[in-house]
Amino acid sequence: MSTKPPDDDGGEALFRTAMTRATQTLPPLPDLAPQAMSLGRRRRARTRAAMTGAAFATVTVLALGLTVLPSLTGRTDDGPAAPAAPSSGIGSPSAASPKPDGSAGALSKEERARLADYQKKAAGRLDVLLPDAMGAVNPVSDDDMRSYLARAGERAYPVALTVRRSPGASLRPCEDDSAKGLTCRVSRLEDGRVAHVYTLPRVPGSGTEVSLQFREGDSEVSLTVSPDKATGAAAPVTVKQLLTGVSDPGFRQLLQYADRHPVLVPGAGRGQ
């Protein structure tokens, strides 16, 4: 006798019939593909917008950075920077430049920067002009446009460079002063200009101070080299070397700049 349960074909048929009747009243399932495509397009659009916004923000930050950086360094965009002098590379004087009568008042930040730039370039030119044996040349003070010091080891030789405007004037007469031991002789620079060469013993038994005076444009130029103050030793430079040095094109450019844009500030604590 078989123990296998009989097939329940009738119950299965009834189940399928009931499911069919139940689903016939339902609406058809929606097609998901169009919705998925639309959702994907929206997401891509949002991604592109976000990327574009980030790029715009980056460009904006860079643009703002270019605007802000000058102010961080003390410059503003109120107007164009003062043009540099074509020959020397030193900036032109600002509106607050000292007046010829000495009533300079407070110097502007731009004017102080211009004078500091001139002072630095003057020291560099003197360093080239003078023999290596005199050592490196540096300014003595930030407030003195004429005084420099050439230092070689423990010896220090004062150097003075003055460019003083005097339109229409000429060199003062070349005269000796026997009471002071001052001597003067007329010489010429390499380009033929007249120069006066002064020599003056500083103290008995010490070195001699040498000074050149000549004209550059509307200014009188004076270059003086003095002995070492501590020992009295004369500076290791000859008059011929000085005459050759002041004729150097680079040094002349510096003098021409100082002639057009005065750097001495009488009455304002600067060298005269």
Q: 6 lies in a domain?
A: no
Q: Which amino acid is at 261?
A: H
pLDDT band at 14 (very low <50, low <70, confident <90, very high): low
The mean pLDDT of 233-245, rounded to a whole number, is 94
Q: Give the integer Cα–Cα distance in Å for 97 and 112.
A: 9
Average pLDDT on 15-42 reads: 53
pLDDT for residue 152: 94
Q: What are the start-end ranges of the E strands in 67-107?
A: none
Query: Mean of the pLDDT values across residues 216-229?
Result: 95
The pair of structure tokens assigned to 193 is 């200009």
Say if CB 199 and CB 182 are below 8 A apart.
yes
Q: pTM surpassing 0.95?
A: no
Residue 87 lies in a domain: no
Three-state secondary structure call for residue 130: coil
Average pLDDT over residues 2-20: 56
Cα separation, 222 vs 11, in Å, equals 128
Answer yes or no: is 144 within a domain: yes
Over the stretch 85-107, which tens digit does the pLDDT of each residue have?
Answer: 434 678 776 644 544 433 344 78
Q: Is the pLDDT of residue 235 over 60?
A: yes
| Distance in angstroms (rounded) separating the CA atoms of residues 183 and 136 | 29
Mean pLDDT in residue range 161-179 = 93
CATH number of the domain bearing residue 256: 2.60.120
pLDDT recorded at residue 50: 46
CA distances from 101 to 75, 114, 165 (A): 30, 20, 12
Residue 19 belongs to some domain of the structure: no
Look at 97 and 63; give whichever has higher pLDDT.
Answer: 97
Quote the pLDDT of residue 25: 55
Task: Look at residue 93 and tell me if it is in a domain.
Answer: no
The reply to whether 22 falls in a domain is no
In a domain, 161, yes or no: yes
What dihedral angle (degrees, nearest 10) is formed by the CA atoms of 87, 90, 95, 97? -100
Domain span holding position 195? 111-260
CB 159 within 8 A of CB 175: no
Whether the pLDDT of residue 218 is over 70: the answer is yes
If one compares 111 and 15, the residue with the highest pLDDT of the two is 111
Which residue(s) pair with 148 in the sheet?
A: 139, 159
CB 159 within 8 A of CB 225: yes
